């Protein structure tokens, strides 16, 4: 079984991005900039943002975090986003989710310029992805896609099953695999026989948030299994895939932690650089 080492792959990607940033600095006399807006004090969000900022600086990006208290008014956040949209030193804007209840997520996403939308959640980027046009691709599915392509460069005709249909994960992942000529099934909480769907799959991407949902006898021999899930348990952080069981049948599997997570952050940096390059043309 191939244990897909997301940490190693992400380090490789970051190194490539670092070289690319050096080249851009030479050419344009400036570097891409990433601005993250963090609202509230939620511990996981604080950790994610800290990691994003650290990684951005490591590859040579200009990195800024704007922090607001939980009680911040929506209009102040929207005004700040509009200001950042006009700021030439900012290539990418990310508003860390989830947001406090009084702030409308859709309004926030739609206020970010689609050209600076490094999370790929703006409807224009969602449309670009489903039309096969250029645009930002959500970081986690992009990371999963790169990991899958590393194991299996030719995905044509493969049957791929997404578990979960969120905009952030399942739907975007499905589009990426469709572009690779996979036959794609998106499953969700109302799917009738999830085990049967999974058993037919050459590729499974689980993005649900249920501890060890995918069992060993759900997986076809030699399937590629990507575990996006992050679940806090007494054993620590575990994924949506029963790792010990599935590792006995799968051809390749991502661990949790150390699989998809590090690639998500590396892909955020990649998206920031892509946004910068598109605006310099
Ligand atoms: P979400 O809650 O938006 O979506 C979950 C999806 O799972 C829904 O589409 C739902 O229909 C489906 N679902 C729920 N119960 C199901 C069941 N019993 N069978 C099949 N499908 C079921 O979640 P999300 O934002 O897509 O995140 C999913 C998981 O991925 C979470 O654990 C989250 O923490 C994790 N995540 C990880 C990363 C990373 O970088 N590794 C990034 C984003 C999210």
Chain mean pLDDT for the chain: 97
Assigned CATH for 139-261? 3.40.50.720
| Extents of the domains making up the chain | 29-113, 139-261
The pLDDT of residue 202 is 98
Contact 230, 239 (CB under 8 A): yes
Whether residue 183 has pLDDT greater than 90: yes
Q: What angle do CA 178, 182, 186 make, to 5 degrees?
A: 65
Whether residue 163 has pLDDT greater than 90: yes
The pLDDT of residue 206 is 98
Whether residue 71 has pLDDT greater than 80: yes
Active site residues: 52, 96, 119
Helix (H, G, I), strand (E, B) or coil at 219: coil
The pLDDT of residue 26 is 97
Compute φ and ψ for 221, nearest 5 degrees: -60, 135
Distance between CA 163 and CA 217 in Å, rounded?
16
Rg (CA), the chain: 19
The pLDDT of residue 233 is 95
CA of 194 to the centre of ligand 1 (A): 15
Ligand 1 site-directed mutation target among 94, 96, 164, most atoms within 8 Å of CB: 164
User: Which has the higher per-residue pLDDT, 44 or 270?
Assistant: 270
- Pocket lining: 194 vs ligand 1, CB cutoff 6 Å: yes
Q: Specify the residue with its C-alpha closest to ligand 1, atom 32.
A: 209
- Pocket lining: 172 vs ligand 1, CB cutoff 6 Å: no
pLDDT digits (tens, 9 = 90+) for 99-139: 999 999 999 999 999 999 999 999 999 999 999 999 999 99
Span 176-184, mean pLDDT?
98
User: How many CB atoms are closer than 10 A to CB 17?
Assistant: 23
| Residue 236 structure tokens | 């620590």
User: Which has the higher per-residue pLDDT, 281 or 240?
Assistant: 240
- Pocket lining: 261 vs ligand 1, CB cutoff 6 Å: yes
Which residues does 99 contact at the CB level (< 8 Å), separation at least 6?
A: 39, 105, 108
CA of 58 to the centre of ligand 1 (A): 29
The pLDDT of residue 44 is 87
β-sheet with 183-187: strand ranges across: 2-3, 252-253, 224-227, 203-206, 159-163, 183-187
CA of 105 to the centre of ligand 1 (A): 17
The pLDDT of residue 110 is 98
DSSP annotation of 213:
-
Q: Specify the residue with its C-alpha closest to ligand 1, atom 3.
A: 166
Span 16-37, mean pLDDT?
97
Span 64-72, mean pLDDT?
97
Name the architecture of domain 29-113: 3-Layer(aba) Sandwich (3.40)
Ligand 1 atom index nearest CA of 259? 41
The pLDDT of residue 19 is 98
Contact 279, 115 (CB under 8 A): yes
Span 70-81, mean pLDDT?
98
The pLDDT of residue 15 is 98
The pLDDT of residue 94 is 97
Specify which residues 186 forms β-bridges with. 162
The pLDDT of residue 43 is 87
The pLDDT of residue 108 is 98
């Amino acid at each position: 079984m191939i244990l897909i080492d997301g940490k190693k792959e992400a380090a490789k990607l970051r190194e490539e991005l670092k070289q690319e940033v050096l080249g851009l600095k030479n050419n344009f006399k400036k570097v891409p900039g990433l601005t993250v807006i963090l609202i509230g004090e939620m511990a996981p969000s604080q950790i994610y943002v800290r990691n994003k900022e650290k990684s951005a600086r490591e590859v040579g990006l200009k990195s800024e975090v704007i922090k607001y208290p939980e009680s911040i008014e929506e209009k102040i956040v929207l005004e700040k986003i509009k200001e950042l949209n006009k700021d030439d030193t900012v290539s990418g804007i990310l508003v860390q989710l989830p947001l406090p209840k009084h702030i409308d997520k859709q309004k926030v996403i739609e206020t970010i310029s689609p050209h600076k939308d490094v999370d790929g959640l703006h409807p224009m980027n969602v449309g670009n992805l489903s039309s096969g046009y250029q645009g930002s691709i959500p970081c986690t599915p992009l990371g999963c896609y790169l990991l899958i392509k590393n194991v299996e460069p030719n995905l044509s005709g493969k049957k791929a099953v997404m578990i979960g249909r969120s905009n952030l994960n399942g739907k975007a992942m499905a589009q990426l695999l469709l572009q690779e000529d996979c036959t794609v099934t998106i499953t969700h909480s109302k799917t009738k026989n999830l085990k049967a769907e999974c058993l037919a799959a050459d590729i499974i991407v689980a993005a649900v948030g249920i501890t060890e949902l995918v069992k060993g006898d759900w997986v076809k021999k030699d399937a590629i299994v990507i575990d996006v899930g992050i679940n806090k348990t007494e054993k620590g952080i575990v994924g949506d895939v029963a790792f010990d069981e599935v590792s006995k049948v799968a051809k390749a599997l991502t661990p949790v932690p150390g699989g998809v997570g590090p690639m998500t952050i590396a892909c955020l940096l990649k998206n920031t650089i892509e946004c910068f390059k598109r605006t310099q043309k």
